[in-house]
Amino acid sequence: GMIAMPAVRVRPARSHVCSSRSRVSHSGFNVSGFGNVSGFYSRHSRGDLVSGKIASSASSSASSSSSSPLTRESLGDDDQDQTQQSSSNPSPSPYTDDADERILRWTARIGGVAAIGAAGALATEGRKLKSERVATAQATGKAPPTVKEYYANTALGRLAPPLLVLQTVLLVGSIVGGSIASRRRVRLEKLVHSVKELNKELRTNNAASQVVKQDESNQNAYAALASAEVDAAVAAQDDEDAILGLAEAQRKRVEAAEQLRSTLERSLQQPAAAHPTERVDDGVNSVADARRKLRAAMERAGECLSAGEPAAALESYETAMSLAATLGSRRASVATARGAARALTELGQHNTALKRLLMAADLSAGGDGTCALVGKGPPMDFTHDDLAGEVGDAFAEVGELESAGLWYDASLRAMRSIDLDD
């Protein structure tokens, strides 16, 4: 009974050694202009990262960000596209393992292995001693020596107490290291969830501010027009004929504008309204036909996403991506790739969604859309803050938290540059 005890006590070390697999690293995540967020980034396995909170957050984020129809301005020629040139790769990642955490992980691993080895050696020696005692008793006909006597006459027996103490110390170290790693992983998951929510809120505020600025510019334009007309009417208020002439001129301007709008709408319905002799798809469609089909596919995909049908939306986005590539419109290609990524995220295909977002980021940075940014991180002058945030969320979903942190940093840099420009 005394010999088998070490082999029994070592069993808890296995579970704690397994728990020490969590590779947690600690580094600062600086959010300049929006407060300081201190957290942890590491290269978790997919199972360690995607907890219930993060999975639910990703699902709600994907369902709430349905794609809107592509406007005619976004389908314009490439001379209206605003692209950037990729700069050199950023400096090495600051999200690296700290020395103390590496010591914790290796202490837990070595402790578990040493404890298992010591218990196995003691158990083996105990069985050997027991068999020798039985053989000695049978050969000599005398009573076999006690276990204490055998231990006192063997080297391993004399080392048994120190080995038991060492096994206990290593086992405690394994338990403590695994517990610390587990708690830090929980804090990491909470931090990732908070950063994703912050990123989502910032993108929403950015879109709202753009709408407000557009409304203000429209109101200013209307106010300027009304002021000009009032000034003209006041200047001619003593002359009734001048006032009547002003009203008539205003009516004619309205009629001319309506007539022009009707003419443009009818021209867009014609098969070759734009570039009558230019055709794409090996002459199958005209440029105008391709643009109309692209716009229709984007509208249909947005409706499918709003209706909770990501599979149908993905099919429409794939069609739109093919048409955008045929037209050579970089802006349309970026919009369709991002829409396809949203549909893929709702379908649970996070790796494919990440590839689509990286293709969109490459196109936005002036690349050719061949996912040249895979494994390199964002360019230092990347100014598409909302797209960088989406790429960061996608990296977080697949467990690559180091890359996610780099893209989150790029998103915040872009936001700060926009604020400074304003």
Look at the block and give the residue holding tokens 């040249």.
372
Strands (DSSP E) along 13-121, which ranges? Answer: 27-30, 36-39
CA distances from 329 to 74, 237, 284 (A): 9, 53, 18
- Give, as one character, the DSSP assignment of residue 369: S
- Res. 377: pLDDT tops 50: yes
User: Tokens at residue 416, please?
Assistant: 């700060």
- Give the length of the chain: 422
- Res. 199: pLDDT tops 80: no
Chain mean pLDDT for the chain: 66
Q: Provide the CA 143 distance to its chain's centre, in angstroms.
A: 73
Supply the pTM of this predicted model: 0.45
Which 3-state string (H, E, C) describes 38-57?
EECCCECCHHHHCCHHHHHH
Q: How far apart are CA 199 and CA 411, in angstroms?
A: 8
pLDDT confidence tier of residue 88, bands split at 50, 70 and 90? very low
* Per-position b or e across 364-374, b if 16+ CB within 10 A of its CB: bbebebebebe
Share of the chain above pLDDT 70, in %: 49
pLDDT confidence tier of residue 236, bands split at 50, 70 and 90? low
Q: How far apart are CA 355 and CA 394, in angstroms?
A: 9
Q: Residues 32, 412: contact at Cβ < 8 Å?
A: yes
- Give, as one character, the DSSP assignment of residue 422: -
- Coil, strand or helix: which one is 286? strand
Q: Which helix (H) or strand (E) holds 280?
A: strand 279-280
User: Tokens at residue 274, please?
Assistant: 């734009």
Q: Please indicate whether residue 229 or residue 141 has the higher confidence score (pLDDT).
A: 141
Look at the block and give the residue holding tokens 């407060």.
35
pLDDT confidence tier of residue 120, bands split at 50, 70 and 90? confident
Tens of pLDDT, residue by residue over 322-362, are: 888 888 888 888 889 889 999 999 998 998 999 888 888 88
pLDDT confidence tier of residue 267, bands split at 50, 70 and 90? low
Q: Residues 193, 58: contact at Cβ < 8 Å?
A: no
CA distances from 203 to 88, 295, 396, 418 (A): 26, 24, 17, 13
Q: How far apart are CA 249 and CA 12, in angstroms?
A: 92
Q: How far apart are CA 379 and CA 319, in angstroms?
A: 29
C-alpha angle 394/335/398, rounded to 5°? 10
Q: How far apart are CA 195 and CA 31, in angstroms?
A: 10
pLDDT (0 to 100) of residue 217 = 65
Look at the block and give the residue holding tokens 């914790």.
104
Tens of pLDDT, residue by residue over 386-398, are: 788 888 888 888 8
Tens of pLDDT, residue by residue over 4-60, are: 333 333 333 333 333 333 333 333 334 333 333 333 333 333 334 333 433 444 444
- CB count, 10 Å around CB of 86? 18
Torsion over CA: 316, 321, 324, 330 (sign): positive
Q: Average of pLDDT values for 115-139? A: 74
User: Tokens at residue 121, please?
Assistant: 């050696």
- CB count, 10 Å around CB of 90? 16
